[in-house]
Amino acid sequence: MFDGLKDKLNDFRTDVEEQAESEPDERSDDGEAPDQPAASDAAVGPEADAASSGDASGGGSAGSEDGDSDPDSEGAEPSTFQRAKAFATGRIIIEEEDLEEPLWNLEMALLESDVEMSVAEEILETVRETMLGETRKQVETTGELVEEALHDALLEVIAVGQFDFEARIAEADKPVTIVFTGVNGVGKTTSIAKLSEWLADRGYSSVLANGDTYRAGANEQIREHADRLDRKLIAHEQGGDPAAVVYDAVEYAEANDVDVVLGDTAGRLHTSNDLMAQLEKIDRVVDPDLTLFVDEAVAGQDAVTRAKEFDDAAAIDGAILTKADADSSGGAAISIAYVTGKPILFLGTGQGYDDIERFDPERLVDRLLGEDA
Ligand SMILES: Nc1nc2c(ncn2[C@@H]2O[C@H](COP(=O)(O)OP(=O)(O)OP(=O)(O)O)[C@@H](O)[C@H]2O)c(=O)[nH]1
């Protein structure tokens, strides 16, 4: 899962390590030849050797022949001094120039991985802010510093809007009504069946409702799942009113003490206006507790765009991202919450009914940074 993105994040770590850790060595080698005392060295005390070599090189790596400073070095002098001092004490200072190329490569890698542009920019900004110009006392290596910066940057965008789904179900008045939206073919019906199992595992009964009265064959498709799982299905004739189907399912749940109503809807109608009018009517008639948007991770940017469109049209409360098991890029998983402001709540991870997992931002970040399988 998301292996391509994981590799690219790892490349960034290697990039920064190479940039940040090779330069001080070069500078201290440089500094040995010219004997250039710097006035500020006195402040460094016992670390003066390393510091002065760093300082001399910052001011004179290009100008070591004539001992003069080059124009570029002037603004960098204080940080070069700090850097050399930190190097002498085994600490790390990352400078803007160390990050320039790795950050550019990271941006390209994120965009190639279908991470949405504004999300990529936010990640870069957080990484830059976390890493720049600070002596990181607690951090032993550049690799750790990169990992910390990436961890914070990724978590910040991925965790947007998270809430405790199970607690929400537990606390809500029963029956809880959940309506599923999203285009056809992405695994919406399968996700409804999976969620019914997920709820059953936690002690909640559910009834399925086929609000996709538009598409021929939709009743049969969901009925197969309902039969296999031994769940009640409420369905009307093709062409019927989806709001009426979900309403009947709510009535059935109330009469039979069923905890949750899981209502499918049509993924596409003649026009998006029809689709939205239908969702609005369901909203008016049954006032669902949650509207969940379903799309497939493998659709990358398209899934992000659709999430935004559906949310704009009919305020979603969260998303289910299917086929994460087949997705290497990870772009949709990283982008959807930040772009919509609504959390990803579940990942579909296979074709079986148990192949659904609660989306855990911390765990996903650990996976991406290689701390978890
Ligand atoms: N690998 C994998 N396949 C999945 C996942 N979820 C669904 N699928 C498969 O995707 C295919 C389409 O799933 P359906 O549930 O029929 O999707 P759907 O047609 O979008 O349902 P509707 O939206 O109601 O039309 C099926 O073969 C599913 O088994 C998943 O998380 N991983």
CATH number of 165-360: 3.40.50.300
- Does the C-beta of 350 come closer than 6 Å to ligand 1? yes
Ligand 1: distance of its center to the CA of 222 in Å?
11
Query: How far is Cα 142 from Cα 184, in angstroms, rounded to an integer?
Result: 46
DSSP per-residue letters across 83-109: HHHHHHTT---B-HHHHHHHHHHHHHH
Please name the helix (run of DSSP H) or strand (run of DSSP E) that holds residue 361, with its range, or none: helix 361-368
Centre of ligand 1 to C-alpha 188, Å, is 6
| Distance of alpha carbon 11 from alpha carbon 27, whole angstroms | 25
**CB count in 10 Å sphere of residue 115:** 29
Residue whose CB lies within 8 A of the most ligand 1 atoms, among 322, 325, 328, 355, for a mutation test: 322
Q: Does the C-beta of 185 come closer than 6 Å to ligand 1?
A: yes
Q: State the distance from the centre of ligand 1 to the C-alpha of 209, rounded, in angstroms.
A: 17
How confident is the model at residue 268, as a pLDDT? Answer: 72
Question: Looking at ligand 1, which residue's alpha carbon is closest to its atom 14?
Answer: 187
178: helix, strand or coil = strand
Residue 185 Cα to ligand 1 middle (Å): 6
Q: Pocket of ligand 1, candidates 186, 190, 212, 320: which has the most ligand atoms within 8 Å of its Cβ, to mutate?
A: 190
Which amino acids are annotated as binding site, given as ranges?
A: 182-189, 264-268, 322-325
DSSP β-ladder status, 233-234 and 318-322: unpaired
Compute CA distances 64 → 67, 151, 237, 336, whole Å.
5, 40, 86, 52
- Cα 348 to ligand 1 centroid, rounded to whole Å: 9
In the chain, domain spans: 165-360
Q: What are phi and psi of 163, to 5 degrees?
A: -140, 165
- Report CA(5)–ligand 1 centroid distance (Å): 23
* pLDDT tens for the chain, residues 1 to 373: 999 999 999 999 898 888 876 655 454 444 343 333 333 333 333 333 333 333 333 333 333 333 334 444 444 444 566 666 666 666 667 778 888 899 999 999 999 999 999 999 999 999 998 888 665 555 567 788 888 899 999 999 999 999 999 999 999 999 999 999 999 899 999 999 999 999 999 999 999 999 988 888 889 999 999 999 999 999 998 888 999 999 999 999 999 999 999 999 988 756 677 778 888 899 999 999 999 999 999 999 999 999 998 898 888 999 999 999 999 999 999 999 999 999 999 999 999 999 999 999 999 999 999 855 5
What pLDDT is stored for residue 238 in this prediction?
A: 86
Binding residues for GTP, as ranges, are 182-189, 264-268, 322-325
Residues 147, 165: Cα–Cα separation, whole Å: 29
- Return the bridge partners of 265, or none: 211
What is the Å distance from ligand 1's center to 313 Cα?
Answer: 24
Nearest C-alpha to atom 29 of ligand 1 is from which residue? 351
Report whether residue 325 contacts ligand 1, using a CB cutoff of 6 Å.
yes
Q: Is 135's C-beta closer than 6 angstroms to any atom of ligand 1?
A: no
pLDDT at 87: 61
